Amino acid sequence: MRPSGSLLSARSLGILFATLDDTFDPDKVVITGDGIAVTELGSTGCVAAISQYRNPANGPVTIDVEPFEFTERARAGAILAIRSYLAYGTHLIPTAPAAWTAGKADSEARPARSALASELRGRSA
Protein backbone atom coordinates (compact mmCIF):
# COMPACT_ATOMS: atom_id res chain seq x y z
CA MET A 1 0.00 0.00 0.00
CA ARG A 2 1.34 3.42 -0.97
CA PRO A 3 1.45 6.10 1.74
CA SER A 4 -0.94 9.05 1.45
CA GLY A 5 0.22 12.32 -0.09
CA SER A 6 0.62 14.09 3.25
CA LEU A 7 2.68 11.24 4.72
CA LEU A 8 4.86 11.09 1.63
CA SER A 9 5.31 14.87 1.72
CA ALA A 10 6.22 14.78 5.41
CA ARG A 11 8.73 12.00 4.81
CA SER A 12 10.21 13.96 1.91
CA LEU A 13 10.47 17.07 4.10
CA GLY A 14 12.29 14.98 6.73
CA ILE A 15 14.73 13.66 4.11
CA LEU A 16 15.30 17.21 2.85
CA PHE A 17 15.94 18.41 6.39
CA ALA A 18 18.42 15.58 7.04
CA THR A 19 20.24 16.29 3.77
CA LEU A 20 20.48 20.02 4.48
CA ASP A 21 21.63 19.32 8.02
CA ASP A 22 24.35 16.94 6.80
CA THR A 23 25.45 19.41 4.13
CA PHE A 24 25.40 22.73 5.99
CA ASP A 25 25.28 21.74 9.70
CA PRO A 26 23.06 24.66 10.77
CA ASP A 27 22.29 25.53 14.39
CA LYS A 28 18.62 26.15 13.61
CA VAL A 29 16.14 25.28 10.85
CA VAL A 30 12.95 27.33 10.43
CA ILE A 31 9.95 25.65 8.82
CA THR A 32 7.28 28.04 7.60
CA GLY A 33 4.70 28.57 4.90
CA ASP A 34 3.25 25.40 3.37
CA GLY A 35 5.83 23.34 5.24
CA ILE A 36 3.93 23.90 8.48
CA ALA A 37 0.89 21.93 7.33
CA VAL A 38 3.08 19.13 6.00
CA THR A 39 5.01 18.99 9.26
CA GLU A 40 1.85 18.94 11.39
CA LEU A 41 -0.06 16.38 9.31
CA GLY A 42 2.79 13.93 9.06
CA SER A 43 4.96 14.72 12.05
CA THR A 44 5.77 11.07 12.77
CA GLY A 45 6.88 10.44 9.17
CA CYS A 46 8.96 13.62 9.17
CA VAL A 47 10.69 12.77 12.46
CA ALA A 48 11.26 9.16 11.37
CA ALA A 49 12.88 10.29 8.10
CA ILE A 50 15.10 12.76 9.95
CA SER A 51 16.21 10.03 12.34
CA GLN A 52 16.84 7.58 9.51
CA TYR A 53 18.78 9.90 7.16
CA ARG A 54 20.50 12.45 9.44
CA ASN A 55 24.12 11.82 10.37
CA PRO A 56 24.10 11.18 14.13
CA ALA A 57 27.61 12.62 14.41
CA ASN A 58 26.25 16.11 13.70
CA GLY A 59 25.61 18.31 16.68
CA PRO A 60 22.13 19.15 17.91
CA VAL A 61 19.93 21.32 15.72
CA THR A 62 16.79 23.20 16.64
CA ILE A 63 13.71 22.87 14.43
CA ASP A 64 11.53 25.96 14.75
CA VAL A 65 8.03 26.07 13.23
CA GLU A 66 7.15 29.71 12.54
CA PRO A 67 3.75 30.61 11.11
CA PHE A 68 3.80 33.84 9.13
CA GLU A 69 0.89 36.20 8.82
CA PHE A 70 -0.81 36.42 5.44
CA THR A 71 0.60 39.91 4.84
CA GLU A 72 4.15 38.60 5.14
CA ARG A 73 3.42 35.79 2.67
CA ALA A 74 1.73 38.26 0.30
CA ARG A 75 4.75 40.57 0.50
CA ALA A 76 7.08 37.67 -0.28
CA GLY A 77 4.92 36.70 -3.27
CA ALA A 78 5.00 40.26 -4.56
CA ILE A 79 8.77 40.36 -4.21
CA LEU A 80 9.11 37.13 -6.20
CA ALA A 81 6.85 38.52 -8.94
CA ILE A 82 8.88 41.73 -9.15
CA ARG A 83 12.18 39.80 -9.25
CA SER A 84 10.81 37.57 -12.00
CA TYR A 85 9.65 40.61 -13.98
CA LEU A 86 13.05 42.25 -13.64
CA ALA A 87 14.85 39.05 -14.64
CA TYR A 88 12.61 37.99 -17.55
CA GLY A 89 10.94 41.21 -18.65
CA THR A 90 7.43 40.65 -19.93
CA HIS A 91 7.76 36.88 -19.55
CA LEU A 92 6.75 36.85 -15.90
CA ILE A 93 6.81 33.10 -15.42
CA PRO A 94 9.07 30.90 -17.53
CA THR A 95 7.26 27.83 -18.85
CA ALA A 96 9.75 25.40 -17.29
CA PRO A 97 13.31 25.43 -16.02
CA ALA A 98 15.83 25.02 -18.83
CA ALA A 99 17.22 21.83 -17.28
CA TRP A 100 13.83 20.15 -17.75
CA THR A 101 13.17 21.23 -21.29
CA ALA A 102 16.67 21.43 -22.82
CA GLY A 103 15.50 24.07 -25.32
CA LYS A 104 12.21 22.37 -26.25
CA ALA A 105 9.00 24.24 -26.96
CA ASP A 106 6.37 24.33 -24.20
CA SER A 107 4.30 21.60 -25.90
CA GLU A 108 7.35 19.34 -25.77
CA ALA A 109 8.26 20.43 -22.23
CA ARG A 110 5.06 19.09 -20.64
CA PRO A 111 5.92 15.43 -21.31
CA ALA A 112 9.43 16.08 -19.97
CA ARG A 113 7.99 17.49 -16.73
CA SER A 114 5.57 14.56 -16.46
CA ALA A 115 8.41 12.09 -16.97
CA LEU A 116 10.46 13.83 -14.26
CA ALA A 117 7.51 13.77 -11.85
CA SER A 118 6.95 10.05 -12.54
CA GLU A 119 10.62 9.33 -11.99
CA LEU A 120 10.63 11.19 -8.67
CA ARG A 121 7.48 9.36 -7.53
CA GLY A 122 9.11 6.05 -8.41
CA ARG A 123 12.19 6.82 -6.32
CA SER A 124 10.16 7.68 -3.23
CA ALA A 125 7.93 4.61 -3.41
Whether 39 is covered by a domain: the verdict is: yes
Whether 121 is covered by a domain: the verdict is: no
Whether 60 is covered by a domain: the verdict is: yes
Whether 117 is covered by a domain: the verdict is: no
Give the closest residue to 34 by CA, choosing from 77, 94, 84, 95.
Answer: 77
pLDDT tens by residue, 35-52: 788 888 888 888 899 989
pLDDT tens by residue, 67-114: 877 788 788 888 888 888 787 765 545 555 555 555 555 555 455 555
State which residues form the domain around 39: 5-69
Q: Write down the pTM of the prediction.
A: 0.53
